[in-house]
Structure 1
Amino acid sequence: MKIKFCGAAKTVTGSCYLIETRERKFLVDCGMFQGSVHDLNTSPFPFNPAEIDFMILTHAHIDHSGRIPILVKNGFKGSIYCTSATAELAQVMLKDSAHIQETEAQQKTKKRLRKGLEPVEPLYTIVDAELAGKYIYPVSYDKTEIIDENISFTLKDAGHLLGSAIVQIQINEDGQKKIITFTGDLGNFNIPIIKDYEYIEKTDYLIMESTYGNRLHEIDNQANDLYEIIVNTVKRGGNVILPAFAVGRAQELLYLLNYYIDIEKRKKIKNVEVYLDSPLAKSATEIFGRHMECYDDEAVKLFLKDTHPLDFSNLKIIESPEESQELNKKNGVVIISSSGMCEAGRIKHHLKHNIWREDCSLVFVGYQAEGTLGRKILDGAEKIKIFGEEMVVKAKIYRIESLSGHADLNGILNWVKNIRHGVSKQIFITHGEEEAAENLKKEIEKLTAAEVIIPNMNEEYKI
Structure 2
Amino acid sequence: MNITFLGAAETVTGSCYLVETRETKFLVDCGMFQGSKNEAILNAEPFSFNPGDLDFMLLSHAHIDHSGRIPKLYMDGFKGDIYATKATVQLCGIMLPDSGHIQETENEWTNRKRQRAGKSAVKPIYTVKEATDCLRLFKSVKYDEVTKVSEDVKVRFNDAGHILGSSIIEIWVNESGKDTKIVFSGDLGNKDMPILKDPSLISDADYLVVESTYGDRLHSHKQGAERIEKFINIITETVAMGGNVVIPSFAVGRTQEIIYELNKYMDVFSDKVNKILDLPVFVDSPLATSATQIFRENLDCFDEEAKAYIANGDNPLDFPTLQFTKSPEESRKLNERKDSIIIISASGMCDAGRIKHHLKHNLWRKDSTVLFVGYQAEGSLGRRIIDGAPKVKIFGEEISVNARIEVIDGFSGHADKEGLLSWIGSFNRKPKKVFIVHGEKETMPVFAETITGEFGIQCIIPARGDSFVVSTDKVYENVPSAELQHKFKRLTVVNMLENLKEEFNELAQILKTDLKQEKSDVEIDEVAAKLKLIEKAFLEALK
Give the structure-1-normalised TM-score. 0.98
Answer whether contact 1:251 1:310 (CA < 8 A) is retained. yes
1:111 Cα deviation from its structure 2 partner: 2.6
Matched, 1:367 2:375: yes
1:206-245 per-position Cα deviation (integer Å, ceiling 9, x unaligned): 0000000111111351111111111111111100000000
Contact 1:235–1:332 (Cα < 8 Å) also in 2: no
- What is the 5 A alignment of 1:429-440? 429-440=436-447
Q: Which has the larger radius of gyration?
A: 2
Q: Counterpart of 2:161? A: 159
Q: 8 Å contact 2:156–2:171 — kept in the other structure?
A: yes
User: Which of 392, 412, 416 is the equivalent residue of 2:400?
Assistant: 392
1:353 corresponds in structure 2 to 361
RMSD: 1.1
Residues 24 and 150 of structure 2 are in contact (CA less than 8 Å); yes or no, is this contact kept in structure 1?
no
Q: Distance in 2 between matches of 1:104 and 1:65?
A: 19
Counterpart of 2:327 in structure 1 is 320
> SS of the counterpart of 1:445?
helix
Q: Which stretch of structure 1 is more off in the superposition, 299-308 or 120-129?
A: 299-308
Q: 1:83 aligns with which of 82, 85, 88?
A: 85
Deviations along 1:284-330, whole A, 9 cap, x unmatched? 00000011111111111012223532121111110100110000112
Paired with 1:291 and 1:338, the residues of 2 have a C-alpha distance of: 22
SS of match in other structure, 1:134: helix
Task: Give the 3-state SS of the residue equivalent to 1:250 in structure 2.
Answer: helix
Partner of 1:110: 112
Confirm or deny: 8 A CA contact 2:23 2:152 kept in the other structure: no
DSSP 3-state at the match of 1:130: helix
Local SS of the residue matching 1:121:
coil
1:234 maps to a residue whose letter is V
Q: Does 1:232 align with 2:237?
A: yes
User: For residue 428 of structure 1, what is the aligned residue in structure 2?
Assistant: 435
Alpha-carbon offset, residue 189 of structure 1: 1.9
Q: What is aligned with 1:61? A: 63
1: CA distance, partners of 2:332 / 2:457: 55
What amino acid does structure 2 have at the position aligned with 1:395? A
Question: 1: distance between equivalents of 2:45 and 2:177?
Answer: 38
- 1: CA distance, partners of 2:454 / 2:149: 33
The whole-number CA distance in structure 1 between the counterparts of 2:462 and 2:117 is: 42
Structure-to-structure mapping, 1:205-224, within 5 angstroms: 205-219=207-221, 221-224=226-229
How far 1:112 moved relative to its partner? 2.2
Match of 1:251 in 2: 256
1:100 aligns with 2:95: no
Aligned equivalents of 1:446 and 1:260: distance in 2?
A: 40
Runs of 4+ in 1 over 6 A off after TM superposition: none
- Contact kept? 1:106, 1:120, Cα under 8 Å: no
Structure 2 Cα separation of the partners of residues 105 and 153 of structure 1: 38
Write the deviation string for residues 113-163 of structure 1: whole angstroms up to 9, x where unpaired.
Answer: 233221231110011111111101010000000123321000111110011
Equivalent residue, structure 2, for 1:376: 384
Give the match for residue 44 of structure 1: 46
| 1: CA distance, partners of 2:243 / 2:191 | 32
Contact 2:309–2:315 at 8 Å: present in 1 too?
A: no
Residue aligning to 2:29 = 29
Tell me whether 16-25 or 303-312 shows the greater mean CA deviation.
Answer: 303-312
- Which residue does 1:3 correspond to in 2? 3
Could you say which structure has the greater relative contact order, defined with CA pairs below 8 angstroms and 6 or more residues apart?
A: 1
Distance in 1 between residues matched to 2:192 and 2:124, nearest whole Å: 39
1:429-452 C-alpha deviation (Å, 9 max, x unpaired): 000011111111000001334321
SS of the residue corresponding to residue 455 of structure 2 reads coil
Shift of 1:258: 1.1
Alignment partners' CA distance in 2, 1:372 and 1:431: 16
**Residue 6 of structure 1: SS of its match in structure 2?**
strand
Is there any run of 5+ residues in structure 1 with no aligned partner, and where?
A: none
Q: What residue is the counterpart of 1:150 in the other structure?
A: 152
Please give the alpha-carbon distance, in whole angstroms, between the structure 2 residues aligned to 1:457 and 1:108. 27
Query: Distance between the aligned counterparts of 1:380 and 1:178, measured in 2?
Result: 47
How many residues are aligned here? Answer: 462
SS class of match (2:91): helix
Q: 2:459 aligns with which of 452, 457, 460?
A: 452
Whether the 8 Å contact between 2:163 and 2:253 is mirrored in structure 1 is: yes
Alpha-carbon distance in 2 for matches of 1:245, 1:212: 17
> Which residue identity lines up with residue 58 of structure 1 in the other structure?
S
**Does the CA-based 8 Å contact 1:10-1:455 persist in structure 2?**
yes
Check the 8 A contact 1:365/1:401 in 2, yes or no. Answer: yes
Aligned equivalent of 1:308, options 300, 315, 321: 315
Could you tell me whether the CA contact under 8 Å between 1:82 and 1:136 is conserved in 2? Answer: yes
What's the TM-score once normalised by structure 2's chain length? 0.84
Does the aligned pair in 1 maintain the 2:373–2:412 contact within 8 Å? yes
Measured after TM superposition, the shift of residue 43 of structure 1 is 1.3
Contact 1:207 1:430 in 2 (8 A): yes
Cα contact 1:210–1:431 (8 A) shared by 2: yes
**One-letter amino acid of the structure 1 residue matched with residue 3 of structure 2:** I
Looking at secondary structure, tell me which structure has more helix per residue. Answer: 2
Question: Which consecutive unaligned segments of at least 5 residues does structure 2 have?
Answer: 471-543
Give the residue type in structure 1 aligned to 2:303. Answer: D
One-letter amino acid matched to 1:206: L
Identical amino acids, percent of aligned pairs = 51
